[in-house]
Amino acid sequence: MNYQIGKVCGVSGDEILVNVIDYKTDETGELGVPENMTVHLSSDSGPVPVVIGQPGTFVVVALPAASLLCMVVGITMKEGRYTAGESKDAALTGALLLDPTSRALVTVPVGTIGSVGTFERGTDVLPTVNAPVFAASPQLVSSVFASYAEGDFTLGTLSLQPDQLAKINLDSFLSRHAAILGQTGGGKSWTVASLLQKISNLKQATVVLFDLHGEYSEAFAKDADIISAADLELPYWLMNSEELLGLMVDRSESAAPNQIAKFKEVLQSAKETPDENKKLGICQTALKIFH
């Protein structure tokens, strides 16, 4: 965690901007990031290459009494300008000036690493500008996921670290609302199927899946009782008026208000004068009071 790659240059909302330092060496050791965006961190088994700036990777930002683990979500490169004095000196000496470039990472905070190495989601403190930023070693990332190892439930592996299992606390996951988001073709359905397959393999596990588009019948054909929507019948009396309106009326149509008013009128009339009431001899006055 002591390999510095940059400094915080801006904090806005939930984003932390990191200015990447150019690679150099001095009496204290290596510093900064080479042009190939790869640094080598020392470990017990030797130098470990770590890619800096790849979206989905992590960096560590220094805080006054702890560290902040941040995920990289973007990277930019900008061309800088020389000062008037530098340009004048170059003109006098005949030196050729190349436009300098700067690299910046866009990161979002994930959690706080305490002084003893414990990880906690979220943070109460954000860094200030010029706070040093360090490369996150694979060992650090492993220790973070190890804090969610209870139950030994994993979603898979990290794409950028194939040896690292992406573990979650299943009890916390199932006891809260969750959403799987992504663009079309990004693998949302595959992720849902893989997650539910792992859950269904647990002892005494029961999963109820509402498959509105018929996507998952093949994924669970051997391990599930599949009930087709065509085999279900819902009696009209099981629904209230709003649910019936949702089936009968398209509220986006311009004539929807008139349709809703007429529907309510017909529904009230049907409630007051059904054939069943006539057979039972129920008077209209009593029926109106009941409704």
| 65 and 23 part of one domain | yes
- Pairwise CA distance, residues 38 & 33, whole Å: 7
Write down the pLDDT at residue 225: 85
**Spatial contact of 20 and 32, defined as CB atoms under 8 Å apart:** yes
Write down the pLDDT at residue 114: 87
**Spatial contact of 157 and 163, defined as CB atoms under 8 Å apart:** yes
Write down the pLDDT at residue 104: 93
- Pairwise CA distance, residues 6 & 19, whole Å: 5
What tens-digit pLDDT sequence spans the chain (291 residues)? 589 999 999 998 889 999 999 998 877 788 899 989 999 988 777 888 888 988 989 999 999 889 999 999 999 987 666 666 666 776 677 766 555 678 999 999 999 998 887 888 888 889 999 999 999 988 888 888 777 766 678 888 877 777 777 878 888 888 889 888 888 888 888 888 888 888 888 888 888 888 888 888 888 877 788 888 778 777 777 778 788 888 888 888 888 899 889 888 887 777 776 666 666 565 554 444 444
| 47 and 157 part of one domain | no
| 131 and 218 part of one domain | no
Please tell me whether residue 251 adopts helix, strand or coil conformation: coil
- Pairwise CA distance, residues 271 & 255, whole Å: 24
Phi-psi region of 185 (alpha: psi -120 to 50; beta: other; left: phi over 0): left
| 20 and 142 part of one domain | yes
| 142 and 169 part of one domain | no
| 28 and 125 part of one domain | yes
User: Tens digit of pLDDT for each residue in 143-160?
Assistant: 887 777 666 788 888 777
| 23 and 118 part of one domain | yes
| 250 and 158 part of one domain | no
| 204 and 173 part of one domain | no
Q: Distances from the Cα of 108 to the Cαs of 12, 59, 189, in angstroms? A: 10, 10, 26
At a CB cut-off of 8 Å and minimum separation 6, what does 108 contact? 14, 15, 16, 70, 71, 73
* Number of structural domains in the chain: 4
| 118 and 196 part of one domain | no
Burial of 248 (0-12, 13-18, 19+ CB in 10 A): exposed
Write down the pLDDT at residue 99: 59
- Pairwise CA distance, residues 181 & 179, whole Å: 6
- Pairwise CA distance, residues 3 & 31, whole Å: 7
CA angle 30, 31, 35 (to 5 degrees): 105
| 58 and 118 part of one domain | yes
| 191 and 259 part of one domain | no
Domain that holds residue 122: 4-146
Cα 127 from chain centre = 23
At a CB cut-off of 8 Å and minimum separation 6, what does 73 contact? 15, 55, 106, 107, 108
